[in-house]
Amino acid sequence: MKKSSPVTASHVNEGTALAEEDRPREVTTRRAFRAPKLTANVESSDTTEIGGLALAARFVAKLKIAQRIDKALSLLRVHRGYFESDHVLTHVYSLFTGATCIEDIAHLQHSEPVRRLLGTQHVPDPTTAGDFLRRFDAADIARLDRVGDQVHRDVWKKHYGRKKQAQVLVDLDSHVHHVYGHQKEGTDYTYKGGFGYHPLVVSIAGTQECLRIINRPGNVASAAGSAEALEEVLPLLGERFQRTVIRGDSAFADQSIFDKCEEHGAFFAVVSPMQKNFTSIADGIEERHWKPFRAKADHVPIEDREVRRQRGPDVRRERTEARGKRDLRLQEQWIAEVDYRPKRSGTTYRLIIRRQRIHEYRQGQLFDLWRYRYVLTNLPKSVSMHEAVRMTYQRCDQENIIEQLQSGVAAMKLPTGGFLANHAYLVCARFAHNLKAWLAMLALPRETMRWEWKRFRRSFVQIAARVVHSGRQTLVRFADSHRFAGQIAKGIETLQA
């Protein structure tokens, strides 16, 4: 696998403080913050505080994303100053730099340095942003999604090389988004009791790339549309990865998903809801077939363990015992598997059963509680029961991706009143969200791929920079006071090559 960049970024708690030799030596008895008197004025400047936007602009140019969007979409009758790509990329750049509403596009529109970064004299007005989104129909949205798939192919080819990777884990999950207005098209009552939408998110574990973000009415089932989404993304994944594993919670234990995986030679590992015959199946397994199970892999040898701080007292457990509330503590786990064929299926799968013994404390008395959890999978026997169960339950990272889609790129704002317009907005947000992972693969330290958006922006987007024209060139001069200025400059050079 090719290296993404020769440079590395500081870890969570490293590189955040001044070096010892750079600290002032003066020791005084006065307050450190003295609030000096300031004189303020306004003057013309070539400086912008979002100089890191240059990274996104160079990535778009290198992958020819604008040309691909214009080739795929035909939404404007006349191109008077703007093409389809200009409108789409306006949404993408705005979300990438931290916008939380359509009006924030004005921040790009009224900044001369930003316009120079983008190589334009004008940025589309915020008042037309919603109108442009309302021009999309379902076919246009599908075409824009396919442009994103093409970008995935190119980035993976540059990052991984020609050789296929061993495995990719794809997570399915949904998010209930409640709205405050009563006039948004496609909204409905959700299973949580509110009123809004129920988007579906298909993402890759590890890289956090979004393969699909699909808008749906609030009353649909969690798995609705998942099979159709897999029909689109499984061929894409099959080109690059030898094994594709689809994961999901019990809401995605749907036969249409299983059939789609079988059709494309993919695998699935999902939590299965309780069925009527599961209890009798578990009771019928002989005791010798139950194997001890640990949620985590075998412990690292003592000599290889990292030194960690000792945990503090468990305040919640102390309060639980003091108040005599119900307290559950997992004691032991075992797993076993049987062959199982769902009622509506003609194929036999592996049903892995996890048996848990739990100590239940109620008002100072101890009771034993037994619970069973079920995993349904078509993974080959070469994948052990332990690996299959761990793989299935490690999908919780999907919740972090959805949280970052909400707070990081404001994907779930769904700003317009049209159902398909909001779907088009989600596709633009998919591009913006994936930019972080794509940049980490091609130009930035790989570890930045999993950074939260807040940290990523403060490190690689929110940096003061002068943007000037000189000798038929656009020069971007970053402030050397920013600790990642050198890495941003190297990243742009890498994308420029």
Residue 20's pLDDT band (cuts 50, 70, 90):
low
pLDDT for the residue 12 = 46
CA separation for the pair 148, 155 (Å, rounded): 11
What is the number of other CB atoms lying within 10 angstroms of the CB of residue 418? Answer: 18
Burial class (CB in 10 A: 0-12, 13-18, 19+), 124: buried
**Does the pLDDT of residue 403 top 80, yes or no?**
yes
Q: Would you state the structure tokens that stand for residue 349, as one six-digit string?
A: 């799968």
Compute the average pLDDT of residues 464-473: 88
Tens of pLDDT along 480-494? 999 999 999 999 999
Compute the average pLDDT of residues 305-315: 77
Where is average pLDDT lowest: 6-15, 220-229, 300-309, 387-396?
Answer: 6-15
Tens of pLDDT along 133-170? 999 999 999 999 999 999 999 999 999 998 999 999 99
**Does the pLDDT of residue 418 top 80, yes or no?**
yes
Cα angle 287, 288, 293; round to 5: 85
Q: Which residue has the higher pLDDT, 323 or 176?
A: 176
**Does the pLDDT of residue 22 top 80, yes or no?**
no
**Does the pLDDT of residue 452 top 70, yes or no?**
yes
pLDDT for the residue 1 = 47
Compute the average pLDDT of residues 392-417: 91
What is the number of other CB atoms lying within 10 angstroms of the CB of residue 122? Answer: 11
* Residue 245 in domain: no
* Residue 11 in domain: no
Whether the CB-CB separation of 331 and 357 falls below 8 Å is answered with yes
Tens of pLDDT along 282-302? 999 999 999 999 877 655 555
Strand partners of residue 349: 340
Residue 9's pLDDT band (cuts 50, 70, 90):
low
What distance lies between CA 431 and its chain's CA centroid? 11
* Beta pairing class for 165-174 and 241-248: parallel
Helices 419-442 and 485-496 cross at an angle (nearest 10°) of 100
Burial class (CB in 10 A: 0-12, 13-18, 19+), 241: buried
* Residue 38 in domain: no
Count structural domains, the chain: 1
| Mean pLDDT score across all residues of the chain | 90
pLDDT for the residue 397 = 81
Q: Would you state the structure tokens that stand for residue 199, as one six-digit string?
A: 């988007």
CA separation for the pair 64, 120 (Å, rounded): 16
Where is average pLDDT lowest: 42-51, 107-116, 144-153, 208-217?
Answer: 42-51
Tens of pLDDT along 320-368? 888 888 888 899 999 999 999 998 888 999 999 999 999 988 777 788 8
Residue 113's pLDDT band (cuts 50, 70, 90):
very high
pLDDT for the residue 434 = 97
Strand partners of residue 167: 243
Residue 36's pLDDT band (cuts 50, 70, 90):
confident
Sign of CA dihedral 111, 112, 114, 120: positive
What is the residue whose two structure tokens read 């100089």? 51
pLDDT for the residue 324 = 80
**Does the pLDDT of residue 6 top 60, yes or no?**
no
* Residue 50 in domain: yes
Where is average pLDDT lowest: 30-39, 100-109, 111-120, 285-294?
Answer: 30-39
Residue 43's pLDDT band (cuts 50, 70, 90):
confident
**Does the pLDDT of residue 313 top 70, yes or no?**
yes
* Residue 435 in domain: yes
**Does the pLDDT of residue 303 top 70, yes or no?**
no
Q: Which of 16, 77, 48 is nearest to 462 (CA)?
A: 48
* Residue 252 in domain: no
210-214: strand order across its sheet:
210-214, 200-204, 165-174, 241-248, 267-271, 365-377, 349-362, 327-340, 291-292
* Residue 49 in domain: yes
CA separation for the pair 465, 459 (Å, rounded): 13
pLDDT for the residue 5 = 47
The three state secondary structure string of 150-193 is HHHHHHHHHHHCCCCEEEEEEEEEECCEECCCCCCCCCEECCCC
Domain residues for the domain of 49 are: 43-139+416-496
Sequence letter at residue 130 = G
CA separation for the pair 167, 151 (Å, rounded): 20
**Does the pLDDT of residue 437 top 50, yes or no?**
yes
**Does the pLDDT of residue 401 top 90, yes or no?**
yes
CA separation for the pair 449, 445 (Å, rounded): 8
pLDDT for the residue 282 = 94
In this prediction the pTM is 0.88
Strand partners of residue 268: 246
* Residue 457 in domain: yes
Residues 6+ apart with CB under 8 A from 311: none
